[in-house]
Structure 1
Amino acid sequence: MKVASGSLRRSVLGSDDAAEAQTVASTARSFGQNTMPLSPIRFRFLVASLLTASFLGALDHTVVSTSLATIAGELGALELMSWVVVGYTLASTVLLPILGKLGDVLGPRHVFMVSLVVFLLASLACGFAQNMTWLVTFRVIQGMSSAGLQLMSQTIVARVTTPRERPRYLAIIGAAFPAAILIGPILGGAITDYWGWSWVFWVNVPVGVIALALAYVAVPKLERGVAPRHYDVTGAVAFTVGLVFLVLGVTWAAERSGGAQALAALVVSGVALLGFFIIERRAPEPMVPLHLFANRTIAACTALSAIIGVGLFSITAYLPTYFQMAYQVSATVSGLVPIATVLGMLVSNLLTGWLASRTGRYRVFTIIGTCMGSMGLFVMAWLPIGLPLWVPMIVMGFVGIGTGSFMSLIVAVVQSAAPLSQTGSITATVNLVRQVGSTVATAIIGGTIGFGVAALLPSGLTAASLTPHAVQQATPEIQEAVAGIYGQLFVPIFIALACAYAIGIIAAVLLPQGRLTDEAETTQSEVPEPLSA
């Protein structure tokens, strides 16, 4: 494995027109004065450490879900149960752009190591929490450090690989998320049943210590960037306020816990986010580099990242409920459809990462992937209720394959199209739009299902008492009515998500033609011209 040292590295991302080619073709100044070439064994240790840390951060999104009821019962705070998950997700989302900027200034190694230590300490504290308030507090800290693990893992890969090598290794790191979706709920349930819920958090510690030891040895001391003359404190505050109130607003709206309260939160969020964009456009050294979106490659890939959050991540949580109610299957069987989806995503993510590194081509995978996602979701909208479950499993597996084909690849392309001095910031932005899109779309889908079911239920049935078990014990007429309601509600949801992927097709087509190059293929050094907003 070769690491640039005191040289210029670049990714050739060619386009059909000369002006676009000059904008897209991007080389970054390597900070690598203090960077040593990594031996093969050290690089393997590095990848193992980054993958383990990323997996721990992703796993804590999913492993807690099956233990929530037990935790809430033992700590006696059912009303705060959802905040064990929401607090973690919100904190990890809010900190992304801030940590991205810190990674560029302080160096990704420092941010990664501190994040891992904080994550382990927070995991230890979560297991010892004596009430729900303290548990939520420690989960927020856990989420903040999780953002550093996820983001710095991708940033470190970008700093120690050439553009051609990057998709392969980002795909390996990116495999942590779908793997956590598959393993998390089962692992969380088993740990809770046999060891107690505290071990859901404590199990992170021994694994994390191993990752920390590997990181200490393997992560190179990458040179820091130039400290900014002006810290974008105002932008950071505006962004945090806007995002916090956005999540609160959509969460309250989905839970129907107060229309006026939700509306007020959304208004505050809108004002704060508008202020954030104004601040970032005028800031001398902004936290989020909005000027880079004049680059068509970066703009298109960021849009594709948002499509993944809106189009697939948002619906995955509701698929089991849909099949339990519409197909009258058990909870265990209903989980087969999201499992098929995630398996398709995992396999295609690794395969396309390998193919992109081998060929240097990337645009074709985004076009094929978005087409597959859109077609699959349109088919889901028109599947008749009651088909054998293997039919929707194949269709959603098709959607997963399409999504995985560009899930990690677009991160590699964006990193290669931006100056290396802003790798952390642009990587954070791509991850941020995905998480925000997923959060908002999830809340909208949840609210649509909740209101729709309550409005369409026949007299004598209430949404509060409507459980899969109750439906399966009801008369055939009621079962048919409930199945029809869920089928009716999910048709427009699947169509809307298919349309989101159709927009993604447009973004993929607008992505300039190009080829990721290996450092050995670089014949001359180029520095990208400054981009204007």
Structure 2
Amino acid sequence: MTQTAPASAGAETAPPARFTHREIMVTMSGLVIAMLLAMLDNMIVAPALPTIVGDLGGLNHLAWVTTGYILASTAATPIWGKLGDLIGRRITFLSSIAIFLIGSALCGMSQNMGELIGFRAMQGLGAGGLMVGVMSVLAEIVPPRDRGKYQGVMMAVMPVAMIGGPLAGGFITDHLSWRWAFYVNLPLGVVALTVCWFVLAKLPRSSGQVRIDWTGAALLTVWITTLVLITSWGGTEYDWGSAMIIGLAVITVVAFAAFVMVERRAAEPIMPLSVFANRNFTLAGALSLVVGFAMFGGVTLLPQFQQYVQGSSATNSGLLLMPMMIAAMALSLAGGAVISRTGRYRALPIAGSLLMAVGLALFATMGPDTSRTITALYMVVLGAGMGCLMQTTMLIAQNSAPLRDMGAATGAATFLRNMGGSLGVSVLGALYTHTLADSFTSAAGPAGDAGKTGGTVAQMTPEALRALPEAVRHAFAKAVSDGIDTAFTWGASAAVLGIVIALFIRHVPLRGFTGGSGTDADKAPVATAAEPVTG
């Protein structure tokens, strides 16, 4: 069922506005700030998670601090993308920034884990519009064939977020309060709002009527939520054969089937199924899901190992993530430059998938005696794989969709990556906590079992661990290592699927805008599954 709201349908067929190089660079200043806002959040929060969980209580809810954020962001992403197509990208982009900032402020004021998870979900609603907004605006003003050189500018924000974020998060946790990990978003967000208000003024606006697919949006939210609950609760909170898990599975299947039916009939579907008829779009989306699974799981769990096993402070654990972040940044920049110069990209997703699988497999070999140097080398491998994949998968997806559906297509691709992240955090987080608790009970004997039921494991902080007897510290470090090994073994197994997917991606020439801005060269058509492509 759809509802009509004042806005414009004309934006779907109108050619993109012509932007000069100077105008593109000015517009990108606002996009860079918004991208920094989105990327900094998870980078700052990750090193603070052990302290947050210990302060508010509840290791069992660790995954949900991140999962709640990712789940809301995932569900909101395709909605923000479609709204951008329908009512204009400027108003939707600014609205998403405002919601993100309100959620950030409330997260900092949380008094218990329930409040924190709920406010993180609100924060995620806004974040869903940040990432898809940045990518959609960039896709609207720059054609794929020319996008590499401008992506180089966009990538300049990565070292600030990926290196500065963990450092800032660790410093805030050690010297201020973990609450400032959320409050720090506010001044940066005000700057982003102000800049984007002015620099996005030239983007097309709507002037007619559109149909908003509220039913599709509701069904999308239902099946995503129940699916993540299954992966989070199955085997931990509830037995896999319990009535709760079976009931959630039934709801997931029914809601998904209803969602597909609604999307086929909707005048303006939240997620146009037609884009999945394109082979490359489907493969790029599937690969994005695998990347999200590995990326979010790795960033969430690695600080646990560094702080509990290797004895790093929150600040140092953030600093120790630098090898992975620098490798990802370097490969993203290099890959963008190669694509811009040659127009070819097929080798990057294949190499990236292979590196990601190898990196995750290496993490699965870590133990209490693994040195920080070895861990850093493993991070370089995983980071290199991520760098080859993050921008390339989005570029392939956008090149496979018509401009009139660019927001929806970008939203669908980002949705799949976020969905992978949500599943990765919930699945790998559940495996980690379950293995940790069982291993600690086995290693510590009766004391470990008492600690498990009495809250020692659930409320353990790095500071509290250092005050315990050496035998207990050793048992807990071994338990954390076992949990990490289990989680990354499964992560590596999933990443192997990414290699298979990447091998089926075909090279389709990157196109320019037809009748719009950008160069007139390389106006390659959007290839469908039946169109010939070059390998």
Q: TM-score, normalised by structure 2?
A: 0.79
How far 1:68 moved relative to its partner? 6.9
Task: Select the residue among 432, 441, 446 that pairs with 2:415.
Answer: 432
Task: Select the residue among 355, 368, 371 that pairs with 2:354.
Answer: 371
> Which secondary structure state, in structure 2, belongs to the residue aligned with residue 408 of structure 1?
helix
How far 1:492 moved relative to its partner? 5.0
Show the counterpart of 2:223: 242
Show the counterpart of 1:9: none
Counterpart mapping for 1:463-478 below 5 A: 464=452, 465=456, 470=465, 474=469
Show the counterpart of 2:493: 499
Show the counterpart of 2:403: 420
Task: Select the residue among 249, 261, 276 that pairs with 1:293.
Answer: 276
How far 1:132 moved relative to its partner? 7.8
With 233-242 and 334-343 compared, the bigger mean Cα shift is at 334-343
Cα distance in 2 between the residues matched to 1:142 and 1:106: 22
Provide structure 2 residue ranges, at least 5 long, that are not aligned to the other structure.
Answer: 1-10, 513-517
1:147 paired to 2:128: yes
Show the counterpart of 2:5: none
Show the counterpart of 2:4: none
How far 1:217 moved relative to its partner? 2.7
Cα distance in 2 between the residues matched to 1:378 and 1:72: 28
Cα distance in 1 between the residues matched to 2:64 and 2:53: 11
Cα distance in 1 between the residues matched to 2:235 and 2:426: 5
How far 1:218 moved relative to its partner? 2.0
How far 1:363 moved relative to its partner? 0.8
Cα distance in 2 between the residues matched to 1:136 and 1:480: 31
Counterpart mapping for 1:170-249 below 5 A: 170=151, 172-173=153-154, 179-188=160-169, 190-191=171-172, 199-224=180-205, 230-249=211-230
Show the counterpart of 1:513: 507
Show the counterpart of 1:38: 20
> Which secondary structure state, in structure 2, belongs to the residue aligned with residue 277 of structure 1?
helix
Task: Select the residue among 85, 92, 99 that pairs with 1:111.
Answer: 92
Show the counterpart of 2:289: 306
Cα deviation digits, residues 120-170 of structure 1 (max 9, x gap): 455456667788877666544432222212111110000011212224434
Cα distance in 2 between the residues matched to 1:208 and 1:119: 8
How far 1:421 moved relative to its partner? 0.7
Show the counterpart of 2:373: 390
Task: Report the CA distance shift for 1:322/1:105 in structure 2 as closer, same or farther (over 3 A).
Answer: same
How far 1:440 moved relative to its partner? 1.4
Cα deviation digits, residues 189-242 of structure 1 (max 9, x gap): 545676666654444343233323322332253335797765422211111111
Cα distance in 2 between the residues matched to 1:241 and 1:247: 10
Task: Report the CA distance shift for 1:128/1:441 in structure 2 as closer, same or farther (over 3 A).
Answer: closer
Show the counterpart of 2:302: 319
How far 1:290 moved relative to its partner? 1.8
Task: Report the CA distance shift for 1:298/1:226 in structure 2 as closer, same or farther (over 3 A).
Answer: farther
Q: Percent identity?
A: 31
Alpha-carbon RMSD: 4.0
Cα distance in 2 between the residues matched to 1:485 and 1:195: 30
> Which secondary structure state, in structure 1, belongs to the residue aligned with residue 145 of structure 2?
coil
Counterpart mapping for 1:253-268 below 5 A: 253=234, 256=237, 261=244, 263-268=246-251
Cα deviation digits, residues 45-101 of structure 1 (max 9, x gap): 221211111221232334345667888999999999976655433322211111111
Cα distance in 1 between the residues matched to 2:427 and 2:406: 32
Cα deviation digits, residues 278-311 of structure 1 (max 9, x gap): 3323444322122222211101111110111123
Cα deviation digits, residues 373-402 of structure 1 (max 9, x gap): 222333444467624321231122111111
Contact residue 45 and residue 214 of structure 1 kept, 8 A: no
Cα distance in 1 between the residues matched to 2:431 and 2:101: 38
Cα distance in 1 between the residues matched to 2:173 and 2:482: 37
Cα distance in 2 between the residues matched to 1:69 and 1:513: 44
Provide structure 1 residue ranges, at least 5 long, that are not aligned to the other structure.
Answer: 1-27
Contact residue 435 and residue 486 of structure 2 kept, 8 A: no
Contact residue 385 and residue 483 of structure 1 kept, 8 A: yes
Cα distance in 2 between the residues matched to 1:397 and 1:131: 36
Contact residue 236 and residue 430 of structure 2 kept, 8 A: yes
Task: Report the CA distance shift for 1:121/1:318 in structure 2 as closer, same or farther (over 3 A).
Answer: closer
Cα distance in 2 between the residues matched to 1:301 and 1:63: 29
Show the counterpart of 2:393: 410
1:445 paired to 2:428: yes
Cα deviation digits, residues 16-59 of structure 1 (max 9, x gap): xxxxxxxxxxxx987336x242351x332221211111221232
Task: Report the CA distance shift for 1:525/1:57 in structure 2 as closer, same or farther (over 3 A).
Answer: closer
How far 1:181 moved relative to its partner? 4.7
Task: Report the CA distance shift for 1:146/1:295 in structure 2 as closer, same or farther (over 3 A).
Answer: same
With 292-301 and 109-118 compared, the bigger mean Cα shift is at 109-118
Counterpart mapping for 1:519-530 below 5 A: 519-520=518-519, 522=521
> Which secondary structure state, in structure 2, belongs to the residue aligned with residue 317 of structure 1?
helix
How far 1:317 moved relative to its partner? 1.7
Task: Report the CA distance shift for 1:368/1:530 in structure 2 as closer, same or farther (over 3 A).
Answer: closer
> Which secondary structure state, in structure 2, belongs to the residue aligned with residue 147 of structure 1?
helix
Provide the aligned length of Structure 1 versus Structure 2: 501
Cα deviation digits, residues 449-487 of structure 1 (max 9, x gap): 3333333423232363355664896557x7776666655
Residue type of the alignment partner of 2:237: R
Task: Report the CA distance shift for 1:337/1:506 in structure 2 as closer, same or farther (over 3 A).
Answer: farther
1:159 paired to 2:153: no
Contact residue 167 and residue 412 of structure 1 kept, 8 A: no
Show the counterpart of 1:346: 329
Residue type of the alignment partner of 2:227: L
Q: TM-score, normalised by structure 1?
A: 0.79
Cα deviation digits, residues 474-533 of structure 1 (max 9, x gap): 557x7776666655555554343223222212221211123425553537685767999x
Contact residue 340 and residue 394 of structure 1 kept, 8 A: yes
Task: Report the CA distance shift for 1:304/1:390 in structure 2 as closer, same or farther (over 3 A).
Answer: same
With 108-117 and 246-255 compared, the bigger mean Cα shift is at 246-255
> Which secondary structure state, in structure 1, belongs to the residue aligned with residue 143 of structure 2?
coil
Task: Report the CA distance shift for 1:220/1:66 in structure 2 as closer, same or farther (over 3 A).
Answer: same
Contact residue 511 and residue 523 of structure 2 kept, 8 A: no
Residue type of the alignment partner of 1:494: F
Cα distance in 2 between the residues matched to 1:491 and 1:299: 31
Contact residue 65 and residue 188 of structure 1 kept, 8 A: yes
> Which secondary structure state, in structure 2, belongs to the residue aligned with residue 95 of structure 1?
helix
> Which secondary structure state, in structure 1, belongs to the residue aligned with residue 271 of structure 2?
coil
Task: Report the CA distance shift for 1:135/1:424 in structure 2 as closer, same or farther (over 3 A).
Answer: same
Cα distance in 2 between the residues matched to 1:65 and 1:383: 20
Cα distance in 1 between the residues matched to 2:56 and 2:350: 49
With 435-444 and 514-523 compared, the bigger mean Cα shift is at 514-523
> Which secondary structure state, in structure 1, belongs to the residue aligned with residue 341 of structure 2?
helix
Residue type of the alignment partner of 1:330: S
> Which secondary structure state, in structure 2, belongs to the residue aligned with residue 55 of structure 1?
helix
Contact residue 216 and residue 269 of structure 2 kept, 8 A: yes
